Chain A
Amino acid sequence: MRVRRVLTRWLVTLGVLHGIVGFAGFFAPYDPVEQDRKSPYLPPMRFHLIDGQGHFHARPFVYALKLREGSFDRYVENTTEPQPVRFFMKGARYRLLGFLPCRRHLFGLENTRIYLLGTDAYGRDQLSRLLFGGQVSLLAGLLGAGITLSIGLCIGAVAGSFGGWRDSLLMRLAELFMALPWLYVLFAIRAFLPLAVSPLRAFFLIITVIGIVGWARPARLVRGVVLSAKERDFVRAARGFGATHGYLFRRHILPETSSVLLTQAAILIPQYVLAEMTLSFLGLGVPEPVPSWGNLLSSLQQYSVLVSYWWIYLPALAMVPFFLGYLGLASSLQERGAAYKIESRIWGI
């Protein structure tokens, strides 16, 4: 019962986080590719409640930032004019969930622009880019994990059910795949493709590649489950009732793999998000100006950015709750799975 409650808590946490990213258009104040060339590397603005004269405002406000005289990246607050934050205001057009045309944003300013996480070199809003970038990165993680698990399930099931030379061949292949240095293989694959690819093609390319790479571990786990499930008494009993191999696999063996697959999914998704970030960071992922978490961080490759603009690191910090959520989910799924005897044996591997 307790395990179940913990599991629900992690699921709700992740649901909320993904919801925010999924409805990025609403939570982000601006379009992620919209540039504001007058304010590059603008630091995050702060909410205020008390103005320069010591008056209290019930509605939080910010001060607009303007460039300091004789500087190109130092800003000062214009404390004469408090800019009250407006909620549910109309702004840039976007498509909610990719198809619903919409103009409402959670918050915004009337006269000037609000940058809660600062801006990048082109004056693009970091918060908007973080939220929209999350859509790309998380989708890559989810789809990549989906591909990996499907391949892993098929291969593991074949190896476990048939045994013999097929099993040996597939398992040696799995060992080979686990031994390859994947980052460099990805470079090699990228080298075969044209220099400029459209964002959509680049996205699907990344998903396919990182999805295909990781099948070995889930395949080995599924094989283990299938092997031990085949010998369980209720499977043997069903064979005794005249069940065919197809029936046994579908009704008895496949459901046994579900908890291993779920746990693997919770482990793989953050791994693949990180893989997408690594590739994009190195410029092999989704091309600019499309935001992704790796793209956001890629300007950190310049030393001047690394030491001068601390808010460029914030996207990396924002990923922590996601990864924490998935790890918590994985461990509580594992705990639940251990309740069944055979899975606990698998985890002993």
Chain B
Amino acid sequence: MRTLFNKVLLDIAGKDPRIWMILADIGYGEIEPFRDAFPDRWYNCGVAEQNMTGVACGVAMEGNIAITYSIANFPTLRCLEQIRNDVCYHNANVKIVIIGGGLAYGPLGVSHQATEDIAIMRALPNMVVFCPCDFAEAEAGVHAMIAHDGPFYYRCGYKKEPPVHSGKIDFQLGKAIRVREGADATIFFTGTIGNQAAAAAELLERDGIRCRVESLHTVKPIDRAAIVAAARETGGIITVEEHQLAGGLGGAVAEVLCDEGVVPQRFLRLGLPDCYVSRVGTHPWLLDQYGLVAPKLAVRIKEYLRQPVAGASV
């Protein structure tokens, strides 16, 4: 997905001279085409994410679109105050792109696992939070990101994520995309964990459980209508995210339900528990450990749906 991201961005930058890339010494093997095509709009700040973000803000405030780009938590947590005070407070046209959301960089260790980013980014006023699940959303999302005037957080995948959507998608920022029809429950997901969630729904259907599946690629602003409709029209809501349960997609969905006074028949949040991993693990191994692979998701959802009433998160 990162390769696709860079390719699409390069195409757009060829037509839009406002686009700059401001880096912090990360992106080897991916960012060179932009550097070679637009050397006067490409700057490597060195290993200095605070300066990267401040510089991007200054560049953006002069009428440009500045993209900061790095892996996992580097362009977000290290420079969070620059994102808040400089970018968001001034509503500057800065796009913060991370490569490898969630556990994608698993074996590199906890420092490289972006597992609280959605919660933190969505708490910032003026910030859009976008997590594409597959190449189709990723590509549409780059265009939406550039078209949007203001801060934007783009949680990019790392490798060749399989497609979740089949065919052309009807993409609109802030609008959920239906992946599968069903009424027994609605599974909402965000980001690249979507292929596990969609595959889980397929497994469930073999057992006669038909779930509506929707991609909430935009966690902020979130599609309130889709959430309310899911609560009213289906047998419950299940959220799946590759992120801490605290403050992530499940929390965002719960906020909408509470605000709207809509009580779903059931509500289950599936994501990462309140801890850090202590063992080495590849991305698939870690997802398996946390029960976020399709077969385990299917079992958890099936067992949960057997219960007669709404329960707590697990």
A joins B in a complex: no
Binding site for A on B (CB under 8 A): none
Binding site for B on A (CB under 8 A): none
